[in-house]
Structure formats: structure tokens, C-alpha cells
Amino acid sequence: PYQAVTAGLFSREQLHAELGEIVNGTKPGRESASERIFFNAVGMGTEDVALATDILRNAQAQGLGKRIKLWPGGPFAGLAG
């Protein structure tokens, strides 16, 4: 995004929403075929896993949370084996 802004291809005024606003429903996602979605995943995956592990352990220690099934049949169901 930095390069796009410095090259004059993108500005903050053109930003419709942050990802969190779309996910939590406070702003809609793309509303027409001419709109574009840009997602910049920065950081390291290992940091995400470390933080998620800490959050999970804290929630378990407090008796919080709910187990949900994300993938029917497991995350690798349907892959050739």
C-alpha cells in the first residue's frame, strides 16, 4: 500500500472500509463489480500463532469460549490422499 500511495495510485480517501468493519457488518463489502478489494497481510504467521495460543490458553483458564466445527469432515476432507 505504501508504494501505491506514494505513486499516487491510491489515497486514504479512496478507502471504503477496514477488513474488521466488513467482517463485523458495520460496513458492507464490495457492492459492484467495478469495486476492488485490497488486503495487505503484513507480519509473520508465527506471531499470529503465538498470539492465538496465548488467547486460547487465557480463555480456557477462565472457562470462556465455545468449540465450533470449522470444516465438516476435517480441514483436509476431500483432498486426494
Residue 27 DSSP code? S
Residue 68 DSSP code? -
Q: Which pLDDT score, from 0 to 100, does residue 79 have?
A: 81
Mean residue pLDDT of the chain comes to: 85
Mean pLDDT calculated for residue range 20-31: 89
Residue 16 CA to residue 1 CA, distance in Å, equals 14
60 pLDDT tier (thresholds 50, 70, 90): very high
Provide the residue type at 74 as one letter.
Answer: G
Residue 69 CA to residue 71 CA, distance in Å, equals 6
Q: Which pLDDT score, from 0 to 100, does residue 81 have?
A: 61
Q: To the nearest whole percent, how much of the chain has pLDDT over 90?
A: 26
